[in-house]
Structure 1
Amino acid sequence: MKHMSVAAATAAALLLATASPATAAHATAIGDVQQAMENLAKMPGVVGAIGGVYVDGKPAGRGTAGSRLLNGKGGTIPANSRFRIGSQSKVMVATVLLQLVKEGRLSLDDKLADLLPEVDGLVERADEITVQQLIQHTSGIPDWFYKSGTTEPAFDVFDFTTYYRPIDIVKMTRGLPRTGEPGEKFTYSNTNYTLIDMIIEKVTGDTLASELDRRLFRPLGMTRTYHITKPPEGIKGPHGHGYYPDSTGTLRDVHRFNASWGNGAGGVVSTTHDVSTFWRAFSQGSLLPPSLQEVLTRGPQPQGSAQQSRGRCAEDLKMWGGDAPGYVALTVFSADGRKEFAISVTRSTADDSAIIPAMFKTAEAVLCPTV
């Protein structure tokens, strides 16, 4: 789905750093998570917020504030409830694809047109675009998420039931201008990961949801995580509800955000515990060999979208998140994988430009408390 950044939703990842090293006293110190969530919930446009901190895989604090439904209704969101993790899903999907590369079932240099002949003619220069370019957002393929030249979604946010096949979504980009030559520059595009979804299913003969479950969720013990693909499947169990204004400005519940738009771009539903478990495993290199992990961690980085921080231990912190109408999800984690702080915010505003940096500042204050 749309990836979060401070200036605009244009980045695949936000890797945040400062020049201030962490001290030994900060290695495992954790701030007040409940107070942090209460502070977030006071922000205009925030309906509810939950957060969970994990140190060496063990719970170290959690909190919930605001409400499950709009206008203070529905009680608080259960702190262990599921939520959409947005574009954090892309790292999981890319990990599955890179595991297939490790197994020799395809290569980083394979061409899109060879892997998916059905998109040749739908995607310009498909015979030049490589698997690595799709992963790293350097393919130049336009994004299906926005109407051309606007920041408005190109799809009906309130259509919760129509199923769109991945290829139907790829077709939406026909006629849109390319964003660059293949391999030329980083330009974030959800279409890259819709295509990766199709490649995984073509190579394995199985669904993306099944491959994620078999390769990541079950082995890592992410028992409450799943990938949704067909509407009207929603989030299982009590959870926070997000809202988005319709054409009249009326706020409408979008917690059932159409699953088929997610596909490989943002279809995973998880919990603070489970998404932290993934980032711990990923950070500690247990999912991919170093040479393949570097395709994700050392590839072209987005320019001009990273919120610079001046916190005492920010040098050790990385952030990956995502958002779409009604919600923002963020995980901030230490480079060594020892500490993770996962946050989910449901919102009632189309503008998240203030919420996103506040979420990172909140996470930094909790993970890097003054001692």
Structure 2
Amino acid sequence: MTKQQRTQIIRILLLVGTITSMFFVPWILVKAWILPLPATVQEQVNQAIGHGFDGMIVYVDQGGKPPAFYAGGWKDRENKIPADPKSLFKIASISKLYTAVAITKLAYAKRLSLDETLADYFPELVGRIENAEDITLRLMVQHRSGIPNFTNNPTYWENEQENGKKALEFALDLPASFEPDKGYEYSNTNYLLLRKLMDKLLGYSHHQYIKEEILVPLGLNNTFFSLSEVNMDDVMSGYYVGIDTDFKTNENGMLATAEDVGIFIRALNDGTVFKAGEQEIYSSIYEYKHGGLVPGYQSLAEYHQDIDAVVVQFINTTDFQGYEWNLSEIIYSRIVKILRKGDRGE
């Protein structure tokens, strides 16, 4: 076979692969990707609602400019209440950033050691969590522990609200996903255990510690740990494709406004959330951006250094296949592109 023939075959295979992948990718994702970029952020939000999202909030804090708020669709679909950029939203795994900062502060204060093991702090879990004697707190923060993710256990979702009260049980007595520090697997169990550890060491709720060490110093008055702390009328409704219900009343942990999340993300990235010496520890163990996903709610929050901008995106529509998450990532990337072009649509 000549070099030219091999090249032609490779081109054909690439073309077939592209066509095959396009066939299996929902056309809404393709459409969202290839549409001409709108001129403003608000136009992009409106376009996203046209793709099928129920409601959306975007917060932009760009250096040298006042913060900007954008919204589209519904805060409450049934009662026809428009999306409000000041609504409270379930931030789900974005909360891991707050946990990681709290762990950093406790490590710097020598109230815990990142190099001590799960067995050191929870000896009762030896034999219940494989490799507990070799899993350090550092590996747990980094999702390199190999501890199974309790939300990957199908039985957990048979009654998620009730099972959430005993979530650790759904990760016990299972084989490790890998040996400690020999792989990576995002595991909510890591952070469940880290929060339990803080409660144990502090002698009071880690919520209080995070409030005193992070929320109050940053003036984050619209960040909460539970639905029990808020007025339900302030919470954005949440929807799941194919299920005709509002997930707003489900308890899923932390809630915040997009502005509060944005202020925190900037403080995390510019270091103002830390005391002297703490940021070096944090940079060695965790990341500076995050997303969040629970039924009815998905979020993305990141600082973009090249344009000195924090962008927070909240969308109150999720689905089983993950297409809505993929769509949200496409929309987020397009909003950042609009900002890079220098037009926020004010």
- The two structures have a TM-score, normalised by structure 1, of 0.73
Match of residue 249, structure 2, among 249, 256, 263: 256
The residue aligned with 1:363 is: 335
The residue aligned with 1:295 is: 284
Q: Which has the larger radius of gyration?
A: 2
Distance 1:62 1:119, change over 3 A: same
Distance 1:351 1:239, change over 3 A: farther
RMSD of Structure 2 on Structure 1 (CA): 2.6
Distance 1:164 1:326, change over 3 A: closer
- Secondary structure (helix, strand or coil) at the match of 2:259 reads helix
Q: RCO higher in 1 or 2 (8 Å CA, sep ≥ 6)?
A: 1
Distance 1:200 1:85, change over 3 A: same
Deviations 1:195-218 (A, max 9, x none): 000111111111121111111111
Match of residue 43, structure 1, among 26, 51, 55: 51
Q: How does 1:79-94 map to 2 (within 5 A)?
A: 79-94=85-100
The residue aligned with 1:137 is: 143
**1:55 Cα offset (Å):** 2.3
**1:40 Cα offset (Å):** 1.6
Larger fraction in helix: 2
**1:153 Cα offset (Å):** 6.1
Q: Does 1:243 align with 2:239?
A: yes
**1:352 Cα offset (Å):** 3.4
Distance 1:233 1:277, change over 3 A: closer
**1:49 Cα offset (Å):** 0.3
**1:241 Cα offset (Å):** 1.2
Letter in 1 for 2:221: T
Distance 1:190 1:217, change over 3 A: same
Aligned residues: percent identity? 26
**Cα distance in 1, alignment partners of residues 169 and 64 from structure 2:** 42
> Structure 2: which 5+ runs fail to align?
1-38
Aligned length: 300
Q: Does 1:62 align with 2:69?
A: yes
Q: How does 1:1-371 map to 2 (within 5 A)?
A: 32-44=40-52, 46-56=53-63, 59-70=66-77, 73-147=79-153, 154-157=157-160, 159=161, 162=162, 164-165=164-165, 168-228=166-226, 236-244=232-240, 250-259=243-252, 267-288=253-274, 289-297=278-286, 319-335=289-305, 338-347=308-317, 349-353=319-323, 354-369=326-341
**1:41 Cα offset (Å):** 1.2
Following superposition, which runs of at least 4 residues in structure 1 exceed 6 angstroms of deviation? Answer: 231-235
- Secondary structure (helix, strand or coil) at the match of 2:148 reads coil
**Cα distance in 1, alignment partners of residues 306 and 273 from structure 2:** 14
Residues 82 and 270, structure 1, Cα contact 8 Å, conserved in 2: yes
Residues 319 and 332, structure 1, Cα contact 8 Å, conserved in 2: yes
**1:80 Cα offset (Å):** 1.0
**1:284 Cα offset (Å):** 0.9
**Cα distance in 1, alignment partners of residues 256 and 105 from structure 2:** 21
Distance 1:280 1:274, change over 3 A: same
- Secondary structure (helix, strand or coil) at the match of 2:92 reads coil
**Cα distance in 2, alignment partners of residues 197 and 120 from structure 1:** 18
- The two structures have a TM-score, normalised by structure 2, of 0.78
Residues 74 and 82, structure 2, Cα contact 8 Å, conserved in 1: yes
Identify the range of structure 1 (196-205 vs 330-339) with the bigger mean alpha-carbon deviation.
Answer: 330-339
- Secondary structure (helix, strand or coil) at the match of 2:316 reads strand
**Cα distance in 1, alignment partners of residues 173 and 128 from structure 2:** 9
Residues 144 and 189, structure 1, Cα contact 8 Å, conserved in 2: yes
**Cα distance in 1, alignment partners of residues 302 and 164 from structure 2:** 32
